[in-house]
Amino acid sequence: MLVEQNGYYISTNKEFLNRKVIYNFLDKDSYWANEIPFEYIERFIKGSFCFGVYKGNPEIEPTQVGFARVVSDGVTFAYLADVFILPEYRKQGLSKWLMEQIMSYEKLSTVRTFMLGTRDAHNLYRKYGFEVIDHSKNRFMAILKDNLYQDIKNNRE
């Protein structure tokens, strides 16, 4: 998939992804994956549907300005992760456009359970049908390891 709007592009081509941009944001600017080891980036790209957001055509001279990935079997379950637009490109509607593209992506059209975790973007995700699942009738369970990357880093030192 490659779509354009106002000089920005969204592509699902993993070859266009700038692993350093993704790593730098997640490691330094995210609350959910800070201190993630660089080698994990390639691993999660390989196992996910990825959406890169670019200023300019990524087939020519891409400047990656955003990213999101969906971990999914492509049929029944999906987990949206690592959604970001770099700070200097925010307030232009790019995150909404990115979500529209993810939610209309044909390879995810049969997903019954689509989940995500967020601390601060509930209003964005509600626009696309996501709801807080506290009322899930005890159906959903999770294991959450908040400080895993910090623990891995500390054990390496």
Residue 139, pLDDT score: 67
Q: What is the domain extent for residue 150?
A: 2-156
- Look at residue 46 in the predicted model and tell me its pLDDT: 97
d(CA 115, CA 67): 17
Residue 31, pLDDT above cutoff 80: yes
pLDDT at position 135 is: 66
Burial 42-76 (b: 16+ CB within 10 A, else e): eebbeebbbbbbbbeebeeebebbbbbbbebeeee
The better pLDDT of the pair 4, 133 is held by 4
Per-residue model confidence as pLDDT tens digits over 62-117: 899 999 999 999 999 999 999 999 999 999 999 999 999 999 999 999 999 999 99
Provide the pLDDT for residue 141.
67
* Count of structural domains, the chain: 1
CATH number at residue 108: 3.40.630.30
Residue 138: predicted pLDDT: 64
pLDDT score, position 152: 72
